[in-house]
Structure 1
Amino acid sequence: MLDRTLTSALSQGQDGPVTIGGWVETLRDQKRIQFIIIRDESGSVQVTYPRPADEDALADQVSALSHGSFVIIKGQLKHDERVKLGGVEILLEELEVVGASSADSPIADDTSIDKRLDWRFLDYRRPEVALMLKIQTTIEKNWREHWLENGFVEIHSPKLMGQPSESHAELFKLEYFETHAYLAQSPQFYKQMSMAAGLGKVFEIGPVFRADPSFTSRHATEFVSIDMEMSWIDSHEDVMNFQEQLMVKAIQAVKDEHGAQIEALYGFEVKVPSIPFPRIPLAEAHSIVEGRGYKVPRQDGDLDPEGERQISAHVEETHDHEFVFLTDYPKNIRPFYHMRHADNPDLTKSYDLIWKGTEITTGAQREHRVEVLTEQIKEKGLEPEGLNSYLDFFRYGVPPHGGFGMGLTRVVMLLLNLSNIREASFLFRGPNRLEP
């Protein structure tokens, strides 16, 4: 492996010999001096070469460099506070081109998002886009740490299923030897199986698939789902309490590790939320939204995107908070496995978490009593026989439990105030995008 120094570490290094590896970001080929800006995964540095008066092979090599070419630079590190880029520069002694680039890049800073997605590997050379993935890594690291500190077990559930995970809608069906299989919409059934297995608390970070033809700014056909399930809860309130802790831990870590870069590249300061997050029953949320002059047109009782934006604006104004839990959803808009309130069976022990006007999570206490679960399946117009393998989990005893599912890319999109989920995906998948 090349023994190189990352550009981010150069300012702490001593003057003297140094080797770096990166790509050519900028070349200023002047008559008397040549400047190359080299960028690597950690930052960038200025490389300087005074051009000799006579013909010089190294000067010619610098002049021939194309934007984006990967090079190895050897030279003398020199601290100089006059250098705007980090207060250091490298005086060039040797240059090796290890991966030459075509002269003309197909994208620029003002290129459309669709074109940039076509050339996503080049788009990631922009520091703000690369930072997005580093932030995502920090988020996942801190979630995992919090789960493991609290006794959770990580699972990896199958993504090929013999029957739908929740409903027959939004399913990708594919040939599977002599029969058919489905791509998993959710690890929901397997999380609940883990509760029947006595694992107590589990989490999973993995892909899920939705055959949803939506072209909105927050939908994708494949995305990374963040899921957890925990036993021995009293209500969905226990799940909400734990999710608050997860979100605060991750956002605080992002602020601590990347806050300065976010301010420089995205132009805002990360706001760490306080605990507890506000909680508003869905029926009350409708009244609040109507009081703000907006009537939700949906007939099923759920909020639409504008309703979510309005309730978030209300919470921001009254609680100075970016998050809100909407609770107690009607049974008609929740899955059959959500537990109902004992004193009002028309409502479920469930919630959505809204952040900056967009839903990122659905969570609930699950129904664990097989006889009640069977009746709720029938009530939804489904056949219990078609869910026999799922019901088997509950025929041998399951403790009270609950959990949530959350979209990772929505979290990253909202944290960075990005306008579209495509910007927050490593490689976006939608109804008309299967490449690269």
Structure 2
Amino acid sequence: MIHSHVPVSDLREHIGRTVSVRGWVHTLRLQRAMQFVVVRDGTGLVQVTNRRDGGPLEALIEALTPESAVRITGRVVDAAQVRLGGLELVPETVEVLNPAATPLPIDDRTGPEQRLDWRYLDVRRRPAARLLFAVQTTLEQGMREYAYAQGATEMHTPKLMGTASESGAEVFELGYFGRSAYLAQSPQFFKQMAVAAGIEKVFEIGPVFRAEPSFTSRHATEFTGVDVELAWIDGVEDVMAFEERMLAHAIAKVADLHGEAVAEHFGVRITVPTTPFPRITMAEAQEILRSAGWDPSGTKEDLDPEGERSVSAHMREATGHEFVFITHYPVGLRPFYHMRAADDPGLTLSFDLLWNGLEVTTGAQREHRYDVLLAQAAEKGLRPEPMQDYLNAFRHGCPPHGGLGMGLARVLMVLLGLGSIREATFLFRGPNRLTP
């Protein structure tokens, strides 16, 4: 007789019935008179209780190893003394679908780097790790929902480029039929081409590659970027408004679906942000830091991670808000395609978004005038020839536009209070990690 498969979380609805549970052996307690097996599926844990009688079932259970994949059919019994949900499964058949080698390469004491070596086991064994990917799915769904509702078109741009990006730095070079190709650092140029193609609102969620030898908790050599480009904007404010509303919508969706689970597994209460987010200029941010004793002398004008944390803390105290846009970065800190302020050509119409001290987004209004773009590229020491395909997009009526690039894993880091981007990624890629 075939018995229906029931998720562990639904077993209470089947007390007194015989059902099948599929999952992994979580723990084994093999006593003289009794055998206890805790089985874990994606929804929870259940105790399987077998009284020894010398039969074939006893021998099967005795041979089990932790993390073996099993299907156990048995009767669901109300058992108040059992701490795991007050239920137990009294087995009738035990089927070993795939035995796990023993001993396991990781346990609860294993350090983070070794856990990354065995990531499939690490994620399988920790409900918090699996919850992260459910949260990521909902977060992406929420951002897509908002973008679709605004009439945006989802695009899939190339990740192979024939020339390096605008700076030529921090790109991965690879062989391509006897010549060189490069992995895209960003869909930036392609998004702008889509705008020039008459697609008014563009977004993409896809891979981004950065050849940065960075060993920090917030850098990766391959990550998922959330990119948006908006045409016919009146100014960079339109881009910031789009992002804050998109994030507020997506975070509200996560709070609604996963808020309780996130509080239980990560100890974090998700705060749905109000809009608009606070905005301060880069000059104002530096003034806040100077008043707190920060001295930028001898360093570049950009905010370092400590500066970002300090500004965020100040703004949170002043406004109660976890987010802050920092705007109007100096020309020296921004790429040639950022539009410059008409009233102060030394500043760009650009922004970073900080969330609880971590930069999660960079955005700007783009320069859409061909002659101005050429002049700004030359000023940065860039030759137009390698970028001619990109520059051509501005020669035939490209509208005013702007956009943003957001790091999905960084958003998850802050949302769930994680210490490293490694934890917010399924299979992390960094300067020292290309496997598994």
TM-score between the two structures when normalised by the length of structure 1 = 0.96
1:2-401 → structure 2 map (5 Å cutoff) = 4-13=5-14, 15-52=16-53, 55-125=54-124, 126-296=126-296, 299-401=299-401
Shift of 1:107: 0.9
Kept after mapping to 1: 8 A contact 2:142/2:251: no
AA in 2 matched with 1:122: L
Alpha-carbon separation, structure 1, partners of 2:276 and 2:301: 26
Alpha-carbon separation, structure 2, partners of 1:256 and 1:87: 28
Alpha-carbon separation, structure 2, partners of 1:112 and 1:178: 43
SS in 1 for 2:39: strand
> More displaced, 75-84 or 149-158?
75-84
SS in 1 for 2:116: helix
Alpha-carbon separation, structure 2, partners of 1:366 and 1:11: 58
Alpha-carbon separation, structure 1, partners of 2:23 and 2:235: 53
Shift of 1:295: 2.2
AA in 2 matched with 1:78: V
What CA deviation, in whole Å up to 9, does each residue of 1:379-400 have, x standing for no partner? Answer: 1111122321111101111111
AA in 2 matched with 1:105: L
> More displaced, 34-43 or 117-126?
34-43
What CA deviation, in whole Å up to 9, does each residue of 1:253-291 have, x standing for no partner? Answer: 222211222222112212222211111100000010111
Shift of 1:50: 2.4
AA in 2 matched with 1:76: R
Alpha-carbon separation, structure 1, partners of 2:326 and 2:10: 46
Alpha-carbon separation, structure 2, partners of 1:2 and 1:159: 48
Alpha-carbon separation, structure 1, partners of 2:142 and 2:39: 32
Alpha-carbon separation, structure 2, partners of 1:2 and 1:330: 68
Alpha-carbon separation, structure 2, partners of 1:212 and 1:307: 21
Change (3 A) 1:166 1:43: farther
Alpha-carbon separation, structure 1, partners of 2:118 and 2:59: 30
Alpha-carbon separation, structure 2, partners of 1:272 and 1:298: 39
Alpha-carbon separation, structure 2, partners of 1:212 and 1:367: 26
AA in 1 matched with 2:23: G
Alpha-carbon separation, structure 2, partners of 1:230 and 1:79: 58
Alpha-carbon separation, structure 2, partners of 1:249 and 1:3: 38
Alpha-carbon separation, structure 1, partners of 2:85 and 2:303: 49
For these two proteins, the number of residue pairs brought into alignment is 434
Kept after mapping to 2: 8 A contact 1:187/1:227: yes
Shift of 1:2: 10
Alpha-carbon separation, structure 2, partners of 1:340 and 1:270: 37
Kept after mapping to 2: 8 A contact 1:298/1:304: no
Partner of 1:419: 419
Alpha-carbon separation, structure 2, partners of 1:61 and 1:319: 62
RMSD: 1.6
Shift of 1:30: 2.0
Alpha-carbon separation, structure 2, partners of 1:20 and 1:416: 31
What CA deviation, in whole Å up to 9, does each residue of 1:49-108 have, x standing for no partner? Answer: 2223xx121112112110000000111123444432223322211100011001211111
Kept after mapping to 2: 8 A contact 1:165/1:187: no
Kept after mapping to 2: 8 A contact 1:11/1:88: yes
Kept after mapping to 1: 8 A contact 2:166/2:382: no
Alpha-carbon separation, structure 1, partners of 2:295 and 2:109: 38
AA in 2 matched with 1:10: L
Shift of 1:39: 0.8
Alpha-carbon separation, structure 1, partners of 2:177 and 2:333: 36
Shift of 1:171: 1.0
Kept after mapping to 2: 8 A contact 1:165/1:188: no
AA in 2 matched with 1:202: V
Shift of 1:298: 6.1
Alpha-carbon separation, structure 1, partners of 2:109 and 2:412: 22
Q: Structure 1: 5+ residue runs without aligned partners?
A: none
Alpha-carbon separation, structure 1, partners of 2:395 and 2:378: 17
Alpha-carbon separation, structure 2, partners of 1:398 and 1:87: 65
